[in-house]
Structure formats: C-alpha cells, structure tokens
Structure 1
Amino acid sequence: MSEHNPQGGEAFMQPLLRVRDLKVAFKVDRAMNEVLHGIDLDVYPGETVAIVGESGSGKSTTMHAVMNLLPGTGRITEGSVLWNGRELVGIHRRDMESIRGREIGLVPQDPMSNLNPVWSVGFQVEEAIRANGVAKGRKAVRERAVEVLQQAGLQDAEKRMKQFPHQFSGGMKQRALIGIGLSADPQLLIADEPTSALDVTVQRVVLDHLAKMTSELGTAVVFITHDLGLAAERAEKLIVMYKGNIVESGPSREILERPQHPYTKRLVSAAPSLASRRIGSDAELPAAPTESFDVAALTASARETVAHGQPMIEVADLGKVYKIRKGNFSSEDFHAVSDATFTVNKGETLALVGESGSGKSTIAKMVLQLEKPTSGSIRIAGKETAGLSGKGLFDLRRTLQPVFQDPYGSLDPLTNIGNTIMEPLKIHGVGDAASRKARVLELLDQVALPRELASRYPNELSGGQRQRVAVARGLALKPDILILDEAVSALDVLVQAQILDLLAELQRELGLTYLFITHDLAVVRLIADRVCVMQKGRIVEQATTEEVFERPQQEYTKNLLAAIPGAHIELGV
C-alpha cells in the first residue's frame, strides 16, 4: 500500500498520512486488551480512501488513534503515525489541537449526540469556524457558517441556523456536522459514516461536494463506511478490516468486482445496496443464493398472506404543524406532514421513503402516540387512537413497539444491555426473573450479539452493536406491529442482512406488521411489500415495491432511484 503512482507523470508523491504497525489496546479489568494488531496504511493528497468492515472491526478506532481521540482507556501501544512527515504518536496535546480541525477535519459517526442540545445549530457551526481561525468578525463568521451548511446540502441554511438540534431530523443534524468538518477546508477529512443518516439525494450532493474539494484543493478524504455502494462509486482505494486487521486493500472496483479474501466475499454477497438491482429480475439472479437473496425469499413467502390480513394501521388525512420561533417573540407554522393517507395490513411491510426532513419519522412518532396529530386520524387494529390515555395507551404499547433511528440517544447510558432489553418485559409484567433472563439471552442470539454483552453498558458498544440492542428491545414483547425508524441504517451489511432476515422470518412465523421508515432504497427492495414516497410532508407516490422500482411515476421518485450509490456496479462473489 505504500506505493502510489500519481496521475500526470508527476514525481513520487509523499503521503499526507503514513501509518505503520499501529497497535491500540483498551484497559479491561487491569489487563490491556489489544483491538488493533498492526495497521499499515497511506493516504495521499487528493485521494479518497474507504475503510469498510463490520461493526467493531476497528475502522473508527484506527482513525481516532490517528487524531489522538481514543475514548476512555484506549492507548496506542506501538507504531507510528506520520502527518506531513511529523510524528503524531506522543505529541503534546496543545500541538495536536492545532492540527485537529484546521489540518485534519472529522465528521463523527453519531449526528444525534455530537451537537450540544442547548445551543442553536448556527452558534455551533460559528464556534468551529472561530476556533479554527477560518474567518474573523461577526459578519464574516456568519456568512461562512451559512456557506458551509449550504455546501453540506442543508436547505434554507440561513433560517435553519436559529434552530436547535432537537428541531432537526437525523439527516439534517448529519449535514450540520459535515458543514463543521468542512469549515476549515482541511487537508484530510475523516468522515466516519458520513452519509448513514442521509437520504440518497442529499448523499449525492454532499459526496459531489467532497469530490470537488479533493480535485480543487487536493483534500484527501477517508470514508469509514459500511455502504459498499458508496465505497465502489466514490473511493479510489478500499481497505477491508476484520477483527483489528487489514485483510485486503487496493483499488476499490478491483476488490469489489474480484474479492480475494473470504471475509470480503461475504461482505460483497450480503450488500443489499448493490445486490438489490439483481433481486428484482430473474434473468439477472446468480446461480448461488446469498444472504441477501434468502431475505428476499423469506419476504416473498410473507407476502403470500398479506392479501388476507385485516388492516392493522389505518392513517387518514394525517397532518402535523409545528411552531418555529422567529425574532421578536413571534413564530411561524411549519407543516411537517400534510394529508397523509395509507393502510398497512396484517403481515405486511409498508416502507415510508423520502429525503431527510420529508416527514417520515414524524408520521412514525404520531403512530406511536409520541406526538399528537394536528389533524386526521390513526386507527390501530381497528381502534381509534385519538384521546387514548392511561390503561388504553399502556395496552397499545404492548402491541406496538418502536426501534428508533438513534442507537445512541435511545439507550440509557446508566443501564446495562441486559436490563435495557429486559425493561419492556418488566414494565408489562411478562414472566418471572428467570424467564426474562432467558428471553434476553435468546434475543441477543437473534440479533447476533455475544451473550456476555448483557453485562456491558452502551458506551462500551459500537454504533452498530447499539442498534442491534435497540432491535432486540423492540422484539422483546413479541409485538404485533413494529415501527422501524431507520432500524438498519447504522449496521454493516453482514449484520443488516442478518437483521432483515430475522425480521422477515419473524413476520412469516408470527404474522407481524412492519412500518419501515428508511432512506435506503436498496433495503426497501428487499423487505417491503408496498412503498409510500414522501416529499416535503406529503405522500407523492404510493404503490407496490415492484411498481415503484420498475415504473416510478413521479420525477422525484426517479431521482431517488437514480441516486442510489453503486447501483449499477457489477460485483463478484
């Protein structure tokens, strides 16, 4: 990986970042547990590198070690990190702070917990610009803040600056963080799952901007991602990590079209973002089934019962209006959802898709009775939910369970994983202590988590592991209806395939009903029976999955489908 032949016949180019034999360990019960076992990698000016691998493989740990941002007891035990020829291992904290932000930018993985809830989004972007010395003077700082938010794909950036993080959707928060990361025009941008919370159209805007930066300014980008479509389409070089080691590296297309290592082959075969285009057409199906096609088969068998199922969720003329504060103590109406109407039958999966901020999660919150509708009605299993309270609402919760978008904010940091999963069982008085514990272990097995994690706390788990815990908690009561809000967006492709497989199998066996909110259209192709496409709070298209993918009616839907990263790249297995 140390060789690099620049285009245009230039002289040998020195890498911006040169990592050699990097080893990282975390202290666990007075012993050092090594999690990186000798990482070697180079990043050159203007180069785009993607690091892929399953959750917990060491992707984020590698780049956090480079920036000296290892959490808790994490330490670099061996190795060298050269930045522009300067050794960063053992560097003084103040010297490292002068490099962070200005020379090496970071877009962190979690958009929910990386913005301060008591400060407006605009204030936080401006603070980063001041700290990095990008602009001076109040007016110049503000103009730069609006500019970077627009570059990151945030519409109405000037108006949105006054809002607080809780008034932003997950994708909008992610765009704000991308704006902060780009604010100083760094030489290297480390983007940790930068587009996991973004819909495909905004993804394309942001990635196009990053590509423009790399070509114009010579900015290098390191993507830490589980989206192989993004890696195939956007990165020149691919690094595949597994259990703290690099198992394969080289040109992206070459590796994804002809993977050599067994682990890389597993990743590629399980990737719905790339395989989904082949699932819809029998002519293109490969002879050997993969994990992704198992999901399609299970979902297809679940569909056979859909026609006979009674309506479980009936939404009619649903509307939600929020008040947005303006200056002078006044406010204006913001229509988050307008005139939404759809029905989900027993045993069926309906997917709500659309751009970030289109109203998908708002509908989910209203169905869950976490938000009160401004207008319209919601019926669950034939019962009107308006005015429900006390025991009626408690009984509804038994049949209707959520899996939230944010695996960081939806888990109590002071409660261990076992008790987190067990909590719904306790609240609803299901079983005794022994049977609850057995159910927790069963659920951990179902979502592919080691049983020993039951005694761990959320801060000891990766983002993907936390999301699996959230899915396990949602399944604990064996509900009739599951509302899945971006439930697999934080998961690597292998675990994503396992979770989708699990959801399809449970649906087939138990006749579960799913309302699936996502911006990942490839996942929709695998799991959904019908699709509602949302734009600016309205449902603009509603049809079966096949009709939406093969014969989209609206230009907006066509743009969403055209923006799927890597959709037309043929992969080897």
Structure 2
Amino acid sequence: MSEQQPILSVRDLKVAFGTKKKQNEVLHGVGFDVYPGETVAIVGESGSGKSTTMHAVINLLPGTGKVTGGSVQWNGRELVGIGRKEMESIRGREIGLVPQDPMSNLNPVWSVGFQVEEAIRANGLASGKKAVHARAVEVLEQAGLQNAEQRMKQYPHQFSGGMKQRALIGIGLAANPELLIADEPTSALDVTVQRVVLNHLETLTKELGTAVVFITHDLGLAAERAEKLIVMYKGNIVESGPSREILQNPQHPYTRRLVSAAPSLASRRIGADASLPAAPTSTFDVAALAESTERKIGEPLIEVEGLRKVYKLRKGNFGSEDFVAVDNATFTINRGETLALVGESGSGKSTIAKMVLQLEDATAGTIKIEGRDTSKLNGRELFNLRRTLQPVFQDPYGSLDPLYNIGNTIMEPLKIHNVGDAASRKARMYELLDQVSLPREVATRYPNELSGGQRQRVAVARGLALKPDILVLDEAVSALDVLVQAQILDLLAELQRDLGLTYLFITHDLAVVRLIADRVCVMQQGKIVEQATTDEVFENPQQEYTRNLLAAIPGASIELGVEPAANEDYVPHLEAAPEHSAEANGAMGNASRNSTGPAF
C-alpha cells in the first residue's frame, strides 16, 4: 500500500470553536492518510475529536467551528479554504457521509423515499422519475431495508431508529463515492442488520475501491472491519496502526483503558470460565461487573401477560391495514432484577417499553406493577406510579428539550413531583451530574452544546432524579463510548445493589446484556421466541434466531492482549489533556505502530 498515493492526506490539522477574541482549540494538529479501498476506524471517547476531524475534512463544522491550521489534501487537491460550490461538488459525489444521529437527520415532513430520491437527483445519479425511483429502491435494499418499495412511502416517524439509520446509509452510498465517512453508522442497528450493512460496505470497498473511515466507539467493530485503527484522546492522536495489533497489544495507557472497558470484547471472557480471576484493568473494569456482590431478588414486581399491540397503517383511498407490533408477550420481572429485551430493530422491544410506561395503550393483555393492573389506574394513581417508574429514552437528541439548560432538565422531574425545595433540588442535580461523570459546569449549558454521549448521560441522570424503583432503559447506552458505557453500567449495577432497583433493559447490544442482565427475553417480529437466564441464552441458545444474534456480535472471536500489570497502577485523569506531540499526530499512512503521548 506504501507505493500507492493516499486519496486523503491530513497534515497538522487544527480546529477551534469560538470568536477571534476567545477561541477554544479542540484539534491540536492531527495527521493521517487514507488510501484507496482502505478501511480506517477512528476510536476514542465522546468529545475526543473523532467527528470534528472528519467534519473539518468536508467543511461541515457546526456553529463557530473553523479550521485554524494545517492541510487537507483530497486526491492531491487542497480542501482547506476552497469555495462553497467547489466543496459541494465533492461532497456526496466523491466523499459520502453517513451522519451520526438517525433521529434528527431525516426531515419529518417528507417521506423517506422522497429524501432518498432528492439525494440521487442532487448528485446527478439518475434522471427521469422512473429511473430515480428505481435507483432509490435499489439504494435502500443495498442498505439492508426490507420491503423498500413499500417503506419509501412512509415517513421518518414510522421508522424505527435502526431503519432510519439504514436509510441514511443508503443516501450516503447512493453516489458510490471514493470515500465514505461513516459517523457511528451502526450505533442504532441490531447486530444482524449491522452485519448486513457492514458486509455491504466491505463489498463496496473491494469492488469499487471505496475507502471507508469509521468513526465508532465499538472496538469490536473496529477490530473486525478496519485494517487501520486511529485512537484519539482530547484532540490528539495517541496511537495508530494495524487494528488487531493495537487491540491485542495496546501500547498507550489510554488505549489499554479503552480495550479493558469494551463490553463487545469483554463479554467473551465474562462468565466464560468462573475459575479464572478477572484481570485488574482500570477503575471501570467491565469484567468486575460480573463479580459484583450478590443482590436480593424479591417478589414479582412487573407482570406482563398476553400483551398485544396492533397499529393501524394508512393505505390509499382512506383505507387502513393492521400491523401487529407485539403479539402475546408474557414475562415477569422480580424486584431487584434486570430483565433484558433483545432482538432486531423493529421486533417490538421499544413498543413493550412504551406500554409498560403507559405511554401507549395495549390492544390486549395486562401489565401489573406491584399487583395492580396499570390500565385501570386513574390520573392521580398514574401520576404517583410515574414517580416510581422512570424512563431513559433511546434518542439523546430528541428526548431533551432544546430550550431547557441541563440543570433544569435534570431538576424538572423533582419540580413536577414537588420533591424538596430549590436548594435541595440543585444539590441533587449536582449529585446526579457527578454520578454520570459530567462536569458541574454542564448545568448551565444547553443540549445542542453537548455531544451525543454527553446528552445520553444527561438522560440517565434525569431518569435517576426521583430515585425510582423501576427504570426502563431503552437503548440507554447505545450512543455512549465504551468508557462512559462502562461507567454507566457500573453505576447502574451499584445503584441496583444499594437501592434494590429493578431494570427493564432494552438493547440490541448482546455484549452489554451479558454484563448487566439476570434474564433475557429474545424477541422476533413482535413475539418472544426465547426466555431464559443470561448464561443459558449465551451458552446454550435454543433458537436458530438467537444463535444468529450471538454469532453476529462484532469482535467476539478476537483475542485481546491487555496484561494485568499494564494497568495495575494506572489511575486515569480524564480532565487532563495530553500534551501535543508532533510524533503522535504526524502522518500515519504507513502501517507501522505509532504509540505516543504522555503516560498520563
């Protein structure tokens, strides 16, 4: 590959936000190369500069963001400082983008099909109504969307998070670009659809010579799909080189910490052999969650029986047809227990959560909480129930009010339920920010000033504000990088032990399930097809569908090389940014290992 010329060559790239008088530099001289057909993964925690780096490449920095130094060469052409029209001719046609948030990147007033067709027309990929429509269907099918012809008529709110993500991937790939920037492209996808989409991307890379830059917090995905790995921390590159080599023998303390905290990789070793002691790795060691102290499991708290939900879908000529989202679901959650609902996108997991939370009415069946049928509660009883039953929603972008600052967002449940006075609410808010590892200064900031991972932490903090008995977590850690994910899972496990909390945990990440859940219900097309303890499901799955889900966990077969001694005395200080190192941030087109930066 060294004989080839890179299609993208970034040198000493610096980016700052703010005005000329007060600038905050967030990238401190980043450099790397991407070659034709190469797959590169950029990993690091939320706020490390992963997305900012690639958005700077295509001049899509938000707000006051500006490139303040360095060079970006695209096929030998300098992109820093070029005109808007020139950049627009490159974006889409030559460099495709799959944005991070599937919930807010589709226009709610246009059908999904119209938006895909618009991208095809804008990039000059087809002309004429029929040709454009045919290409749009093809694009959605390639991205793994079933019944694409029918789905094109639907609107974004009628799609699950995973389906929206697939539509965005389809739009990003529509022009067969030379480089695809995929910003967390599979964070909303279940593992089986993730595999379909990533296999498609891999085929493109091989057949068309398309290079892919993954921005991801999933180290399993990075290890399995990318040839080269770039590890970022606080706007610097601290390590880079062949992905498997880095993950099997991480040199930098920060990389070691990332590897030790990754559930997609750790799940393989947790519970695999109880006789082997877990290696000490870091302050937030996911393996330690499996060794947590015994909890008391009490009487049945949530009893769901014969639950069914049917939606009416509109058809032409003012007609409608029935769509069964949940069919005859039955399960029980005991006090102090965690039940995980897993399955593909659109299998009915979130619909069950909404019915448990009384945000949707069941078509048939019963939900009992502490023996009381929730469908028969009056307004006051339902209000009181909500104090003990709190949600953490899937979408960290849509579930926070953009007009409320973070402090008021977290205190809102306390105000609504008239808990304490202003001073005690403020104290509780700061306590919650500490619990979810957010700095207290965040209290005066607004959601649009936070990253996706930070917003999700705010949502978890708000869910915990009232100290509820039951927490319904709908993909609550899917948007988080592995370090924060480990902290949140550790926090949830600790709160469960201390307060006896009960969790209904909805996720498509089976690796996380292994860490947190006592029992698992596997859902397929609205039905619970398998129900057992976590160990039974992972070690002896009964259904072919469950076996396929387990086989699709990215990176499950990759051996890691974090030695116990490597992190024994390592206590991370996330507030301290590493010093700028020219060596760390130099060109990385070659495949040699590059581990630099301070030893924290």
Q: TM-score range by the shorter chain?
A: over 0.9
- SS where residue 174 of structure 1 aligns? helix
Q: Are the structure 2 counterparts of residues 135 and 389 from structure 1 closer, same or farther at C-alpha, using a change threshold of 3 Å?
A: farther
Partner secondary structure for residue 340 of structure 2:
strand
1:331 counterpart letter in structure 2 = S
How far apart are the structure 1 equivalents of 2:243 and 2:353? Answer: 37
1:513 aligns with 2:528: no
Q: Which residue of 2 aligns with 1:8?
A: none
The 8 Å contact of residues 262 and 483 in structure 2, kept in 1 or not, is answered as yes
List per-residue Cα deviations over 1:270-298 (Å, max 9, x = no partner).
Answer: 11100111112225554435510222222
Q: Give the aligned CA root-mean-square deviation in angstroms.
A: 1.1
Identity percentage of aligned residues = 81
Following TM superposition, by how much is the alpha carbon of 1:332 offset from its aligned partner in structure 2, in angstroms?
A: 1.0
Whole-Å separation in 1 of the counterparts to 2:117 and 2:354: 32
Hey, what's the Cα distance between the residues in 2 that align with 1:255 and 1:231?
11
8 A contact 2:278–2:287 mirrored in 1: no
User: CA, structure 1 residues 242+529, in 2 after alignment: closer, same or farther (shift >3 Å)?
Assistant: same
Answer yes or no: is 1:294 the counterpart of 2:288: yes
- Other structure's SS at 2:375 match: coil
Q: Contact 1:295–1:497 (CA<8 Å) still a contact in 2?
A: no
DSSP-derived class of the 2:531 partner: strand
Letter of the 2:544 counterpart: E
TM-score, normalised on structure 1? Answer: 0.96
Among residues 440, 455, 458, which one is paired with 2:429 in the alignment? 440
SS in 2 for 1:240: strand
| SS at structure 2 position matched to 1:279 | coil
Residues 258 and 289 of structure 1, relative CA distance in 2, 3 Å threshold: closer
**Which string of whole-angstrom CA distances, capped at 9 and with x for unpartnered residues, describes residues 416-475 of structure 1?**
000000100000001111111111110000001011000001111000000000000000
TM-fit CA distance, 1:387: 3.6
User: Does the 8 Å contact 1:279/1:285 carry over to 2?
Assistant: no
Preserved CA contact (<8 Å) 1:439 1:476:
yes
Q: Which AA in structure 2 matches 1:301?
A: E
2:36 pairs with 1:42: no
Residue 356 of structure 1 aligns with an amino acid whose one-letter code is: S
Give the Å deviation of 1:388: 2.8
Structure 1 partner of 2:351 = 362
Q: Partners of 2:127 and 2:246 in 1: how far apart? A: 46
Amino acid at match of 1:66: V
Question: Which residue of 384, 400, 407 corresponds with 1:395?
Answer: 384
Deviations 1:466-491 (A, max 9, x none): 00000000000000000000000000
Give the equivalent residue in structure 2 for 1:139: 130
Q: Deviations over 1:116-145 (max 9, x none)?
A: 111111111111111111111111111111
- In the TM superposition, residue 390 of structure 1 has moved relative to its aligned partner by 1.7
Q: Which runs of 4+ in 1 moved over 6 A?
A: none
CA distance in 1, matches of 2:382, 2:361: 13
SS at match of 1:247: strand
Structure 2 Cα separation of the partners of residues 458 and 52 of structure 1: 23
Task: Identify which range, 129-138 or 549-558, moves more after superposition.
Answer: 129-138
Matches within 5 A, 1:488-567: 488-567=477-556
Larger RCO, structure (CA 8 Å, separation 6 or more)? 2
Aligned pairs (5 A) from 1:454-473: 454-473=443-462
Match of 1:124 in 2: 115
1:243 aligns with 2:234: yes
Contact 1:317–1:340 (8 Å) recurs in 2:
yes
CA distance in 2, matches of 1:29, 1:500: 41
Give the paired residue count: 559
Verify: 1:263 aligned to 2:257, yes or no.
no
Change (3 A) 1:29 1:394: farther
1:429–1:122 distance in 2 versus 1, CA, 3 Å = same
3-state SS of the aligned residue for 1:335?
A: strand
The 1:363–1:28 alpha-carbon spacing in structure 2 relative to 1, beyond 3 Å, is farther
1:30 shift after superposition: 4.5
Once the two structures are TM-superposed, the CA of residue 376 in structure 1 deviates from its matched residue by 0.6
TM-score (norm 2): 0.92
1:52 and 1:241 in contact (8 A); partners too: yes
Q: Distance in 2 between matches of 1:154 and 1:285?
A: 43
The amino acid that maps onto 1:538 is K
Which residue number corresponds to residue 9 of structure 1?
Answer: none
> Paired residue for 1:208?
199
Q: Which amino acid aligns with 2:443?
A: A
Partner of 2:89: 98
Distance (Å, rounded) in 1 between the aligned partners of 2:114 and 2:55: 25
